[in-house]
Amino acid sequence: MGVKEGKLFHARDSRAVLREVFNRRESNLEFLSLAELDIRDARFPSLCHKREETLVFNIAGPSTVDVEGIRHELAHYDVLYISKGAEYAVEAGDEAAHLYLYRALADKEHPVRHMSWKSIKNDPERLRLLPRKKVHLMFDVGEEADRFMAGYTFYEDHARAWPPHNHTDQEECYSFIEGSGAMQVYEDDERTTFVKRVEVGSHVTIPLMNYHPVFSHEEPLCFIWCIAGERYWVGDRNRSFMDGSVSRLTT
């Protein structure tokens, strides 16, 4: 057996980069954490979260996620649920993949579930239509999980969330993936925060009891909403959210 040759690598040339965006300690959230994975022409060999379930959102090129030896091909906008304690690896080809890895503290184990955007985007059972907005329920209450619900919301230009709402039992993250706009996160009118610009790559944490309206400006926008907590979507529990008949709403 011959002596193998050493090789030189530079971090700047890495084809797989994992970044922790926020964790529970710094985000004011109790359950939810988020990492981003950029990968191209590479395999990220082993990830495992002993106490957390994971939702993988693929927002760029195709990727493959191998969970305990079973391969799942993720197309653009696909979502994959991974149970706590399951080991998984990620790989991508010549086209770069960009994945958001949401994690939430969990007590139980549940089956892996691959949610196909192609299959779901036109499913009327998973589509909620609001004025100048569309909500797609990508990971709904019918899928087994401890705390997760998640989906996509698409805004037309010059739209806003109405009515403003907050939650007693759900914390959230909004991740902006198309367009730009603004967002508020505030406890009450007296303590309303400055309206900040949000754009592709922005992630906003929403602790319990914070109102969190989003505004689009000259262009449409899209964001991922990821919930950790009780499993319901506000519009399914409160019809007044759908028809805008109240000025604010607490769930």
Same domain, 89 and 126: no
3-state SS string over the chain?
CCCCCCCCCCHHHCCEEEEEEECHHHHCCCCEEEEEEEECCEEEEEEECCCEEEEEEECCCCEEEEECCEEEEECCCCEEEECCCCEEEEEECCCCEEEEEEEEECCCCCCCEEECHHHHCCCHHHEEEECCEEEEEEECCCCCCCCEEEEEEEECCCCECCCCEECCCEEEEEEEEECEEEECCECCHHHCCCCEEEECCCEEEECCCCECCEEECCCCEEEEEEEEECCCCHHHHCHHHHHCCCCCEEC
pTM of the model: 0.94
Same domain, 73 and 189: no
110: domain CATH number is: 2.60.120.10
Domain encompassing residue 29:
12-115
Same domain, 129 and 232: yes
Same domain, 145 and 26: no
Say which amino acid occupies 145: A
> What's the pLDDT at 249?
87
Of 81, 100, 115, which one is at a domain's C-terminal end? Answer: 115
The whole-number mean pLDDT for each consecutive block of 10 residues of the chain, a chain of 251 residues, reads 89 91 91 97 94 98 97 98 98 96 98 97 96 96 97 97 94 97 92 84 96 95 98 91 86 92
> What's the pLDDT at 68?
95
> Is 7 part of any domain?
no
B/e letters for 221-242, b = 16+ CB within 10 Å, e = fewer, are bbbbbbbbbebbbbbeebeebe
Of 83, 115, 147, which one is at a domain's C-terminal end? Answer: 115
How many domains are there within the chain? 2
Same domain, 240 and 130: yes
Of 60, 90, 115, which one is at a domain's C-terminal end? Answer: 115
How many whole angstroms separate alpha carbon 251 and alpha carbon 243?
Answer: 16
> What's the pLDDT at 1?
73
Tokens in use for 27?
């985000």
Same domain, 108 and 172: no
Same domain, 154 and 243: yes
Same domain, 50 and 34: yes
> What's the pLDDT at 53?
98
Same domain, 102 and 183: no
> Is 2 part of any domain?
no
Same domain, 134 and 238: yes
> What's the pLDDT at 242?
86
> Is 56 part of any domain?
yes
Phi, psi (degrees; rounded to nearest 5) at 84: -60, 145
